[in-house]
A = this chain, B = another copy of it.
Amino acid sequence: MGQFLGTHVNRLDRKGRVSVPAPFRAVLARFETTELILRPHHKSACIEARPEPEFRRLAARLDALDSFSDDHDALAFALFASAHSAIPDAEGRIVLPEALIAHAGLGETVAFVGLGRLFQIWAPEEAERMTRSAVQAARERGLTLPGGGTA
């Protein structure tokens, strides 16, 4: 399995630890890393997690910009300043930083939502609401993928 798929709800314990779903860890291995880069999503109340190589790919796009421009600085801040590194321990758990827990409004349980090359961490209720509205948007607005027929 090469991409992050599905929604998995796990428990966030008193120490701020949570098990990364086993299938996600398998995907991580496919990226030939153990390291995850966690960032607060710039719009939504969730944490965005990428395998380190994938994050690197994203960061590489910065190089296209002039390193002395204001745009470059702003983007660099957004990308790096509130990012955290996390490596699952022997049991497959990571600790979520306080700041990110607050940003996502997480409680006792958290939902891991697979999104292909990355995944997000939501409060379970919010994750379900997002999924619902995304599916409905796809249905009503006829959102479809470019370059082809019906999904």
Q: Give the interface of A toward B (CB within 8 A).
A: 1-7, 23, 35, 37, 42-44, 52, 56, 58-59, 61-62, 64-65, 68, 71, 73-85, 113-116, 127, 130-131, 133-135, 137-139, 143, 145-148, 151
Alpha-carbon separation in the docked complex, A6 to B84 (Å): 6
Given A61-B145, A116-B59 in contact, is the A5-B78 Cβ separation under 8 Å? no
Residues of B within 8 A of A81 (CB): 6-7, 113-115, 127, 130-131, 134
This protein's copies in its complex: 2
17 A-B contact pairs sorted by A residue (CB < 8 Å): A3-B59, A4-B80, A5-B80, A6-B81, A6-B82, A42-B68, A42-B139, A44-B73, A58-B151, A61-B145, A61-B147, A78-B131, A78-B137, A79-B151, A81-B114, A81-B127, A82-B135
Given A74-B138, A138-B42 in contact, is the A61-B148 Cβ separation under 8 Å? yes
Q: Quick check: A134 and B78 within 8 Å, CB to CB?
A: yes
Residues of B within 8 A of A3 (CB): 56, 59, 80
Contacting residue for A138 out of B1, B68, B78, B127, CB 8 A: B78
Q: Nearest-CB distance from A85 to chain B (Å)?
A: 5
Q: Nearest-CB distance from A124 to chain B (Å)?
A: 12
Alpha-carbon separation in the docked complex, A84 to B151 (Å): 16
Residues of B within 8 A of A52 (CB): 1-2
